[in-house]
Copies of this chain bind each other. A is one copy, B any other.
Amino acid sequence: MKNVAILGASGLVGQTLLRLLEERNFPVGKLRILATARSAGQTVTFRGQELVIEEATPDAFAGVDIAFFAASNEASRELAPEAVRRGAVVIDKSSYWRMHPEVPLAVPEVNPDAIRQHRGIIASPNCSTIQLVLPLKALHDAAGLRRVVVSTYQAVSGTGKEAVEELRRQAPRVLAGEDPEPQVYPRPIAFNVLPHCDSFQENGYTREEMKLTLETRKILGLPDLPIAATAVRVPVFTGHSEAVLVETEEKLTAAQAREVLARMPGVVVVDDPAALAYPDPLMAAGRDEVFVGRIREDLSSPTGLWLWVVSDNLRKGAATNAIQIAEFLIREGLR
């Protein structure tokens, strides 16, 4: 049994983490639920028991084997080294440590070796990146990646609880002809799409688009991989979708790509257009796999393949991946 801490258990990812620790029968010894002073004293439920949220001080990590961080970048910056100093392995869902050269950025099906080399902190990638690198890894091993172009269709739960509430509140208002009163997003998200996820950078890309680009390169170990993205928020509650154009060094037919992808752990191919079988966010929500469909040869390049990639952004895109990292550590005797 492992002593586990969760920092940020009241958020959507934290809640999903708690549910998954139950679902997967994770060998939880003592469980500490931590948060900033503001949330301390509230309670969460785990295996039928009420647990009181404690304040996340450095000493709160004493005796903890595995600490899941699902809070702010600031909390990860300050508390992750403190937790490691006290003997914990930190699995961090924030973006703070992801690009640090000494911190592995890990998706267990894709780069397990990175996990083995950890020095205390292991970063879990951005949601839109995780679901992308599984099919990319399969295609890279089969035919070599040459270039990747991605357009995303991202659910509001990626932003957090308040965005889910906003979509829920706005939809009936729009239908009734009332002002949707945007608060979380700068424009209405109900019955609208916004080409704007996270903040804009100097180069015209958003942080989300740059995360997808830079994290994918790091995870795949391809620092020069040509890759670019447009990230778009859509009025979906849970489940990110991606239209992906992949160019490979060697030609794969659609049928070959389908076989290669079907063999990739964590990937489920749903691709039978004649039977109207393709992934959508509604069917992916609540599932732990990455679903791939619409596999077809590109009409604009000799070795291009199009994929439609869908996954639950709170599960494989966040909590499931973090727990899989912890399970890997335990299985390998690293914790």
Chain A residues with CB under 8 Å of chain B are 147-149, 151, 153, 167-168, 171-172, 175, 186-188, 191-196, 200, 203-205, 213, 226-228, 230, 232, 234-237, 241, 243, 245, 254, 273-274, 276, 278-283, 293-301, 304, 306, 308
Contact = CB atoms under 8 A, between A and B. Distances in A.
Given A193-B280, A195-B279, A204-B273, 17 more contacts: A147-B301, A151-B151, A153-B193, A153-B234, A186-B276, A191-B282, A193-B241, A195-B293, A200-B273, A203-B296, A204-B295, A204-B297, A205-B299, A213-B299, A227-B300, A232-B241, A234-B234
A216 to B, nearest CB: 11
Contacts of A232: 153, 241, 243
Contacts of A168: 175
Among all A-B residue pairs, the 7 with the closest Cβ atoms? A204-B296, A151-B151, A226-B300, A200-B273, A230-B243, A228-B299, A151-B243
A283 to B, nearest CB: 8
A219 to B, nearest CB: 17
| A235, A280, A281: residue with the most chain B Cβ atoms closer than 10 Å | A280
10 contacts: A148-B300, A171-B172, A192-B281, A194-B278, A195-B241, A196-B278, A203-B297, A204-B297, A226-B301, A227-B299
Given A203-B296, A273-B204, A191 B228 contact: no
A227 to B, nearest CB: 5
Contacts of A235: 191, 234-236
| A193, A194, A254: residue with the most chain B Cβ atoms closer than 10 Å | A193
Contact of A226 (B191, B226, B299): B299
A contacts with B: majority SS = mixed
A294 B230 contact: yes
Contacts of A293: 195
A280 B192 CA distance: 7
Contacts of A172: 171-172, 175
B300 A243 contact: no
B195 A308 contact: yes
| A213, A283, A300, A304: residue with the most chain B Cβ atoms closer than 10 Å | A300
Contacts of A227: 299-300
Contact of A308 (B230, B241, B295, B304): B230
Nearest to A156: B191
| A148, A151, A205, A234: residue with the most chain B Cβ atoms closer than 10 Å | A151
Contact of A236 (B191, B243, B245, B274): B191
